[in-house]
Every structure is written in structure tokens, then in C-alpha cells.
Structure 1
Amino acid sequence: MSGLPAQTTVLIVGAGPTGLTLGISLRQQGVDCIIIDTLPAPLPWSRALGLHARTLEIFDALGVLDAVTARSLILKAVHVYGERGPLFSLDLTSLDAPHPHVLSCPQAEVELCLAARFTALGGMLIRGCELLDFRQSAAGVQARVRWAEAEHQLGAALMVGCDGASSRVRQILGISFDGVRYADHFLLADVDIDWPLARDATHGFLLAEGALIALPMPQGWRLVINQGAHDDLQPMPDLTPFRRRLALCLGEAPPLGEARWLSRFSIHRRLAGRYRSNRVLLAGDACHIQSPLGAQGMNTGIGDAFNLGWKLALYLRGIGGGALLDSYEQERRPVARQMLTAVDVLSRSSFTRTAPLRGVRDTVLRMVGNRPGFSSRLLRRASQLDIHYSGSPLVGASASMVTQRRPAGPAPGARVPDALLSPVGEGPPVRLHGCLREARFQLLIQLPPHPDHATVLTLYALATRLPEDFDGLLGVQVIAAGEWPAELQDLTRSAFILWQDSQGAFQARFGEGGHLWLVRPDGHLAYRAPLADADHLLMWLNAALRRRSNASAASIGSQ
């Protein structure tokens, strides 16, 4: 690199999974951005491991899923054992999702794949670059950084702090990071083990003396144990505590290879007081940290970035103003709060040493294991497929839909389910999610089995109106119930993408009849209406995607 640019559109601080995901999302939408990171090179340690089903959908949209999968181990189950044997098992393959499993992939490998994709898209990643401070003005953000043994000024329209739990960006903004630290300490070891436990599942042993979590990795296993105040907290840990805990769990400790990584750590549960201060936003661990149980932290940070990327891109095009940026915190902070609560319950129950609490925990786990419906809901929540933004100002429905009781199909704010569709004409079936990868809104027009005259008129009116009013911001896809109607053959020459629900998969997930489904760039439903309420959808689109004169300080607000 010949020198540090003086200006960019979005400055991202932190080259972890959150910052890199945000960078890819912005580059896919043509937004100029720079990622800086204090470290001169990526950390070599594995760190976070698990990638859930919703994150795999995001990676598919970002164009990195194949690269990440090639470096991963597929996990299909979770097994939990107590002092008297098995307590609970969870079949990950039972998920109704395109990727019904968890990928075990060391964070270092995830970052490698994301960084390669970001730079391939023209993004600039600058390592060994430390953020010293910054100031905001009506014109943007001016950051002072240290790079190549010199101080530089780097200007941007917006800045996002993805710089981890000790976020320098958050500290400069003076945003609180409230929470607690757990009393227990934890030891982690990445090591080879010669034992019969299945390598396509994670295993948890919950004993009176403490817990042992065993997670398969593409190379070897990760072991995590908890230690109380009475345990030997030597500053330089070795494998002795792991051998003791393994012997308690299995009767005798299996042979262990030399540890590739040994670490002692404490667990915090913390949440940032806010996610935005005018032109500067926070994402990932800069906003929330939690226990590693359940593998929620990295996945939640990636979800933050995927939610934020399209909003920044629209704002920079003069759409939405400060209210659009405000929606990021309104949608994602409740997700983090719920995640922190769930992981806190999981961690405290897993690591408790109190006999009555252990008894209650074991009883609950056995009960959950015997109730498939409850296990299914638990699995969907852990996989982050059930995240929704129902209270967001960016989602809605026509009045006729609001008055219906439990209408079929996804609710506004929910993740749009997947379904197989057949192209009109030649070609194999494709997945709906594959049709939504483009980083813009997509309107799905679901036709009734036998379109009447009013339906035909509505379709042709939309074919004329939508490209004129929302060129470049909105894609339109029409889905016929079965074979493509002969009376709509002229639409095959329109800009619309046409599909046939030949197998009834779309109808099974979205219901029957004619409907309008507006999907956001992040795959969540923005708006739903009957096909007869097309005028209501147009009004909603005009309000949501109306261009403003510019993305000025006046429109950004002062949050």
C-alpha cells in the first residue's frame, strides 16, 4: 500500500467477523469503505467456533458460504449428559432451513474467508492502524489514526465501531457497557483426543464438580471447563485440570495430544447503552458480550452487520434519513438483550454446583427432550431463525391484513422462509432464498390459481409503475400457483422475474391466494398485503424509499 487515503465513505474500525461482514455488504452495494484494525496481522487462535443456520444463510448472500464450508466441520447434534447418563439430545438436522446444521469453523478461518471476499470486491483493509480519536461535524466524521509510525487524518461520512468488547469507539463516545462478570473462571484447550465420542456433535457433561464442554473442530477438539474460587487458578494453565475433569466424566481420562491453544478467561454479560451517536454506530462485541455457550456472540455480531449494511447504503443514497439509522438499534438491541438473557440462563444452569438447582435443571432437560415441539422451538431460537423485527418502524401490513387473525405466511419483520420454485420456461427448480441474494428490496407477487380480470389489471399497472418509481431499489418477482397463466404471457417480456410454484412449496409456507410480499435486503419481511391492496403497498414504498435531498446533518438527527 502506497499510502493511507484521506477520505472514504464508511470507515469501519475492527476487522473481525462483524466488521468484515459489514464491509462485504457495503461493497456489494457499491459503497466505498475502509476497514482498519489495530493488529498488524489476524490472531492465529481459533476463538469463536460455531456458525448457526441463519448465519449460513447470510454467508450465502455474501458469497462466502462455500469458502467457509470448505474449512469447516458439520455438526448435526448436541448431546448433554448428567451424573446418571444422558439428559438431552438435539437433532440439528431437523431444522426447516436450507442449512440444517451448525458449522464448526475457527474464527481465524472465518475471518480469512471474509477478508478475501472483502478485498476481492474492492474493499481496502488496513492492518496495524490504530484509532486514536475522532470528532463529528455536519460534514461527517474525522478520525485521527496512527499507521506506519505516523499520525494521519481519515475522513468519512459515517463510522462504525466493530472493535470488540474493549471498543475504543464506544469509549470515545462515552456509551455505557453495563453488565456483570460471572464468578467462575474458565479454561479452554484446543487439543487432539483419542476417544469414541461422535465428531459430528457437541457434548456437554454437567457434574457436581463442574462442567465439561467438548466441541469438535476441523482439527481436534475444544474442551472448556469451569473453575470455582477453590480451584487452582495458576497463571499458566496446563492440561492437568482437563484430565481430572475428563476422568470424572468418563471414568478415566483419554489420551490428550499437545494443546494447540490454552487459555483462561472470565465471562461477562454486558450490553451497550445505545448503538448510535449521530454519524457513529456500534456493532458486534462493541455492543454486547456474553458466555460462549450456545455460540451466539459471533453469530449475533454478523447479524448486526447484515442488518446495518443495507441501511447505511440507502441512507448514503439520500433515503430514510436519521430514522433509517435509528431503526438499526430499534431492531438489533432487543435481539441482543433477549440473547443475553437466554445465554445467561443456559450458562448459570450449566455451571451451577448447587444440588437442588442441578436437580431442577436435569429434570427440565429430560422433559424438554421428551417434547419434540419444545425442542423444535428451542432449536430455531438457538439457530437465530426466529429473530424478528415485528416492532420496527420499517415493517408493516395493509389494514385488511392487520384485522385478520393469524393470517398464513410470515408476519411483518419475520425472516422469509425458503421454498423451491420453478422458472417459467426451461431450467431446474431454484430456492427462493437464492432469488433474494441481491442487496435490494424484492417484491414477491403471489398470484391466485386463476387470476381474474382485476388481478391482471393490477399486475400490468405494477409492471408500468414500479420500474419508473423505484428503479434500482426494487426487484419484482411474480409467482404463479402452478403453471404460468396463458392470459399473462405478455409479462414474460417484462422486467419481472417469473416463477411457477409447481410443487406447492411456496403456497405451503405463504398461504393461498393473491398476495404481495415485500422482502427487505436482509431477508426479513418488510410489508404484506393482499394483491387487491396494491395501492397500500405503493404508499408504503413511497414513504419508505422516498429520496431526500441529501444525507445531511439535518436529516441524520442527533441521537
Structure 2
Amino acid sequence: MSGLPAQTAVLIVGAGPTGLTLGISLRQRGVGCIIIDKLPAALPWSRALGLHARTLEIFDALGVLDAISARSLVQKAVHVYGERGPLFQLDLTVLDAPHPQVLSCPQAEVEACLEDRFTALGGMLVRDCELLDFTQDDTGVQARLAWAAGEHTLRASIMVGCDGASSRVRHVLGISFDGVRYADHFLLADVDIDWPLARDASHGFLLAEGALIALPMPHGWRLIMNQTEDDDLQPVPDLASFRQRLSQCLDEPPMLGEPRWLSRFSIHRRLAGRYRRNRVLLAGDACHIQSPLGAQGMNTGIGDAFNLGWKLALFLRGIGGGALLDSYEQERRPVARQMLNAVDVLSRSSFARAAPLRGMRDTLLRLVGRQQGFGARLLRRASQLDVHYRQSPMVGEGSGMALLRRPPGPLPGDRVPDAPLTPAASGMPGRVHDLLRQARYQLLIQVPDAPEHAAVLTLFALATRLPQDFGELLDVQVIAAGKWPPVLNELRSYPMTLWCDRDGGFRRRFGEGGHLWLMRPDGHLAYRAPLDDADELVGWLTDHFRRRSNAPSASHGSV
């Protein structure tokens, strides 16, 4: 295998959206990694389509959002119909987020953009290369690979299985993948359709005979329908079943073009028993698979990778030890479990055929559709903006927060909200989420409206100590309310960035007064404290960034 080294820091198995996202995240931090994929080329068709608001934030941080947006179709609504007409409409334009839209982008296009970015950052992608097996010890993983010219042995400090539902990595580890298969079979067709349905919306028809889901793509439409075991299942799927189902949905069934892709598939709901064993981890579909309704699978896998990338980078620098690797599963597995449960309810209700169940479903959809704010709450959850890690051991807060009757702003573990920022002197305006592109921790120091002597002393003490002790891991952003206070002019000479909250957007999201907000590289809040608790923050940072043993915790056993 010409040019393939004998070792690397991280070996990623699988070049889907999860594996490529992880590779980009590592390369942004200078971590050497290789991605292998057993397919000789990327698949031309796409299993997943929808990209939600949180994923678009991640893509912005990875530097791929513009490229992916250019290949996407913006979605503005979801329309659900029953046998008696409209049941429910979900407005997709109401999110309070930096990228408040849902994009329809075929997975193949997403992968192409991610691959371009990964290779531009110096990453190595090797196709037509299959993982046979591996062993691991306290210092690394020895992987045996197969390719056209024979076998190759590659040693990595860490290996991550992003190799899908039939994960070879998970199989070798002996990790369970518990769950069930849905009773129905499903047909999929990517096809051109000439009909009056809006292309900026998805459409779902829930009938007694079964469901039909119509999803617009940048080119054409995707149709998905369910069939029971009793239906006449053709050995080779064709469009006849879709034409019959469309005739039940619409008064005038449309003409269908030649399909670009036809497939029959089954739906499983499964969750891996664990996400890590020593130096080998799992992410994406290797951990969780579910119904395609709600477009959660690809987005959740990308979220897994974004959570894991910065943790692996710190671990490989000797920071965090096994506890940091443990936090990946502690944070992301509950997210997957909740997602699986929500998608299961959506799928079972959508594909229900029994008359009593359909009646209750249709009545409920009509009722909730009339509730003010319900759609916005549902969309926010589906967009994964409310995913939090409040129970994680990797987050905390100063003791002074407990003294506040109603602490302002996000809780430790929450996604940090975005807000506009104005440079204190000259320069381009920015936003809080722009800082995610730096791939580092960000300390947001919120200055009181009229800083008193004690607050000024604290700010200068932090300005002196933080760059000295944590400069290689942490950037400091000082944010003053309104105009920049003259008493803090000397901060301009320190290695930190100075901002003003001119329009009050930061205060509306984070509250009033002097506070310390530590944002993790994945955009979640690691720590919060009143400005008076600066010593506690420094102590937390000292413990969090302490050099530890580079061996994973023994509690996960060995392979």
C-alpha cells in the first residue's frame, strides 16, 4: 500500500459523514489520522437527506457549511395529510439559531464536501481497504487491514469505528447491539415527479393502506412507503407500488420519471451496549440505528463525532486520561437513547394501520397543531439545539451560582447560545458561535455594567494568569456591556480579544452582571461562575487540564 505509514495517531474505520466529521475535527487540531473505507468509491445514492440547525452549526465550525449549502435545498415546512385532508403543518422557519433552516442535501453530496475538507487539511483517506481484525494494549491498537495487494498492519494510538450498522469494529469488540426490527418493509424511490406539491416542504400521507412520505431533493423527489408482510412484495422493486399508493393519496396521481434509485429496506431500532472499550471507540450508525423519519440518524452521528474529536485531541496530549474518554459515552449515549425513543413513537404512529390507532393519532395531530408554540418546541428538539450534557462529569459551576436566586444564562452542559459581538476598538463584528471555528476552549468574561475596583482587579489578574497557564488550550474573550469602559483600556495590551455588547444581545441570552462562561470546543458550556469566583474557575481549569496517565481507565476492560 504505497504511501500508507505503519502508524498513526487515530485510525478511523468508515468514510461516511461521521468518520469524515471526526477526521476534520482531528485535523483542525493537528492530530494525525487516517480514514479507511472498504468500498472502492463513495456510493452515488444517499440514505440520508435532512440536515438540522445544530448540524449546520457544526458544519460552520468545520469550515464546510458554504459548500454544503450550495448543494442543498432549503425546507420551510412539513405537511401531514390524513384520509380527510390536512392534519398538521410544521413551520421550519421559526428557530432562534444562527442557521435556522432545515436543508435537504443528499448524503453523497455531504460526504463529497466533507472529504474535500478533510484532504485539504492533510488527512489521508484510503478506499478499498477493509479492517480484518485488531488487538490492543495499554499503548495502542494494532489493526490488520486487507486491500487489493495483500494485508497491511497499521498501529494507532486510538481507533474509532464509524463503519455503520454492520460495524466490524463493534463485532470484534463483542459489544451488543440490542433492539428490534419493525414489522413493515419499506420501498424507496428517487425520482422526478411533475406535480403541484411545494418543493420547499416535505409531505406525509397517512392512510389506512399505509403511509407515503414525499421528500424534496435538490434534484427530484424521494418517495418512501411501507408495506406489510402480507403485501405482494416483488423480488425486484419497481414503481408500480408507488403509483398505486399515490392514487390513494391524490385525486390526480402524477407522472413519475425514470427512477435514479429504487430500494427495498427494513428499519431497525438498535443501540450499542457501550461506546468504548479501552482505546477503541464507536460512533454514528455503529452505535445507533433508527427509522429515517425525522432525519435524526446522520445528524446524531455527526454530533457524536463533534463531541469526540476534541476529546481525543486532548487525550493524545496527555490531558484528561480515561475519564475524558469515558465522558464521550456518558454524554452521547443518553442522547441516542432519547432520540431512538422519540423516532420510534413517530414511526409507529405514522405507519399505524389499525383504525382505532389511526383515529387517535389523527385527532392528536389536529389538536397539537392548534397549540401555540408547540411546533416551535417540536422543531427545536428535532433540530438537536436542546441537546445538553448537564449530568456530565466534564461540566461544573462556581459555588457563587448557588447564591443567586435565579442564575442567568445557560446551565453547565447546555449548548451555548449565539449572540452578536462588536469589537471594542476596530475590526469586523462577530458572533459567539464564530469562536467555534478556533477549535479551542473559549472563556467568555462578561464585564459588569460599571465595573468596581474588585472586578477590575479580578479582570487584570485573569488577564495575567490565564494566557500564562492555559494559553495553549484556551482563548479569552472579554465582553463589556455597551461602550468599552475606559478603566479597562490597559487590557488592550494583553493576549485576549475585547468585545462590546452594543445592542444587548449577549445580555438577553446570558443575563446581567459579571460572569465567567467557559465554552467547550463543541459549543457546550463547560463551566460558569460569577466573576467573584475567578479563583474557583482557575482551580477547575487546573484540574481539568492536568496531565494524566495516557492509558484509558481500567474499568472498560481489555479486548
Please, what TM-score do these two structures have when normalized by structure 2?
A: 0.98
**Aligned partners of 1:309 and 1:555: how far apart in 2?**
22
Partner residue of 1:343? 343
Correspondence list, 1:237-252, <5 A: 237-252=237-252
Partner residue of 1:552? 551
Partner residue of 1:307? 307
How far does the alpha carbon of each residue in 1:143-186 deviate from its partner, in whole angstroms, 9 at most, with x for none? 00012330111000000000000000000000000000000000
Partner residue of 2:419? 419
Matched residue of 1:495: which SS? coil
Partner residue of 2:329? 329
Matched residue of 1:68: which SS? helix
Partner residue of 1:448? 448
Partner residue of 1:97? 97
**Aligned partners of 2:94 and 2:390: how far apart in 1?**
26
Matched residue of 2:346: which SS? helix
Partner residue of 2:522? 522
Partner residue of 1:192? 192
| Amino acid in the other structure paired with 1:61 | A
* Shift of residue 527, structure 1, vs aligned partner: 0.5
How far does the alpha carbon of each residue in 1:236-270 deviate from its partner, in whole angstroms, 9 at most, with x for none? 01111111111111123101110000000000000
Matched residue of 1:466: which SS? helix
Q: Is the 8 Å Cα contact of residues 82 and 206 (structure 2) preserved in structure 1? A: yes
How far does the alpha carbon of each residue in 1:267-307 deviate from its partner, in whole angstroms, 9 at most, with x for none? 00000000000000000000000000000000000000000
How far does the alpha carbon of each residue in 1:215-252 deviate from its partner, in whole angstroms, 9 at most, with x for none? 00000000000111221111201111111111111123
**Aligned partners of 1:376 and 1:71: how far apart in 2?**
26
Unaligned segments of structure 1, at least 5 residues? none
| Equivalenced residues, count | 558
How far does the alpha carbon of each residue in 1:331-383 deviate from its partner, in whole angstroms, 9 at most, with x for none? 00000000000000000000000111111111221122112322221111100
**Aligned partners of 1:29 and 1:157: how far apart in 2?**
16
**Aligned partners of 2:371 and 2:428: how far apart in 1?**
38
Q: Is the 8 Å Cα contact of residues 322 and 557 (structure 1) preserved in structure 2? A: no
Correspondence list, 1:209-224, <5 A: 209-224=209-224
Provide closer, same or farther for how the CA distance between residues 557 and 223 of structure 1 changes in structure 2, counting only shifts above 3 A.
closer
Partner residue of 2:480? 480
* Shift of residue 553, structure 1, vs aligned partner: 5.6
* Shift of residue 428, structure 1, vs aligned partner: 4.4
Partner residue of 2:168? 168
**Aligned partners of 1:341 and 1:508: how far apart in 2?**
33
Q: Is the 8 Å Cα contact of residues 321 and 556 (structure 1) preserved in structure 2? A: no
Percent identical = 76
Partner residue of 2:134? 134
Provide closer, same or farther for how the CA distance between residues 184 and 557 of structure 1 changes in structure 2, counting only shifts above 3 A.
closer
Provide closer, same or farther for how the CA distance between residues 525 and 292 of structure 1 changes in structure 2, counting only shifts above 3 A.
same
**Aligned partners of 1:208 and 1:149: how far apart in 2?**
55
Provide closer, same or farther for how the CA distance between residues 242 and 473 of structure 1 changes in structure 2, counting only shifts above 3 A.
same
Q: Is the 8 Å Cα contact of residues 185 and 266 (structure 1) preserved in structure 2? A: yes
Partner residue of 2:254? 254
| Amino acid in the other structure paired with 2:108 | A
* Shift of residue 427, structure 1, vs aligned partner: 3.6
**Aligned partners of 1:107 and 1:197: how far apart in 2?**
23
**Cα root mean square deviation, aligned:** 1.3
How far does the alpha carbon of each residue in 1:104-157 deviate from its partner, in whole angstroms, 9 at most, with x for none? 011011000000100000000000001000000122100000123301110000
Alignment pair present for 1:275 and 2:275: yes
Unaligned segments of structure 2, at least 5 residues? none
| Amino acid in the other structure paired with 1:497 | T
**Aligned partners of 1:214 and 1:403: how far apart in 2?**
53
Partner residue of 1:36? 36
* Shift of residue 392, structure 1, vs aligned partner: 0.2
Q: Is the 8 Å Cα contact of residues 276 and 556 (structure 2) preserved in structure 1? A: no
| Amino acid in the other structure paired with 1:480 | A
Alignment pair present for 1:207 and 2:201: no
| Amino acid in the other structure paired with 2:426 | E
| Amino acid in the other structure paired with 1:112 | A
* Shift of residue 552, structure 1, vs aligned partner: 3.4
| Amino acid in the other structure paired with 2:58 | I
* Shift of residue 406, structure 1, vs aligned partner: 4.2
| Amino acid in the other structure paired with 1:505 | G
| Amino acid in the other structure paired with 2:538 | L
* Shift of residue 424, structure 1, vs aligned partner: 1.1
Q: Is the 8 Å Cα contact of residues 323 and 556 (structure 1) preserved in structure 2? A: no
Provide closer, same or farther for how the CA distance between residues 157 and 456 of structure 1 changes in structure 2, counting only shifts above 3 A.
same
Matched residue of 2:498: which SS? strand
**Aligned partners of 1:429 and 1:158: how far apart in 2?**
39
| Amino acid in the other structure paired with 2:362 | D
How far does the alpha carbon of each residue in 1:311-330 deviate from its partner, in whole angstroms, 9 at most, with x for none? 00000001000000000000
